[in-house]
Amino acid sequence: MSFFDKLSSSLSKSAYNIGKKSSEMIEINKLNLSIGKQEREMEELYLELGYRVYLHFKKFHSITREDIDRYINEINRLAENIDTLEKLSLSIKGVKHCKGCKVEFEEDVNYCPYCGDSVRN
């Protein structure tokens, strides 16, 4: 194999790797935008829930579980979506993270050295 063939092969591999990394970064950014949007939706639901509870309690001096279930269910759905998106983002990055303190690890560890929780991909 000549010098130019080796150089061409090396450049092709480098271009492929750069393209792959760029695609991964774009995908991670999209996931992070989606996570941020859903976190803002959760914040809005928290505020609306608090406001509704306040108004209801002010008017009737009591509140039932049924009055707030819709908000709780929607908040739980958003939290599950966020968790799924975060897992997908970490999978694309190829790293593990601690469920407890959210520290990311590139090395192969099973437990977080900071808090002792299980580490996952």
Q: Which residues contact 61 (CB under 8 A, 6 or more apart)?
A: none
pLDDT at 27 over 80: yes
The domain limits of the chain are 3-94
pLDDT at position 80 is 94
**Token couple for 107:** 């090395």
**Token couple for 14:** 């480098």
Q: What is the pLDDT of residues 43-97, one digit of tens each?
A: 999 999 999 888 888 888 887 888 789 889 999 999 999 989 988 887 888 777 7
pLDDT at position 116 is 81
pLDDT band of 121, cuts 50, 70, 90: low
89, exposed or middle or buried, with CB in 10 Å at 0-12, 13-18, 19+? buried
Strands 119-120 and 104-105: unpaired
* 23-35: b (≥16 Cβ within 10 Å) or e: eeeeeeeebeeeb
- As a whole number of angstroms, the distance between CA 78 and CA 83 comes to 9
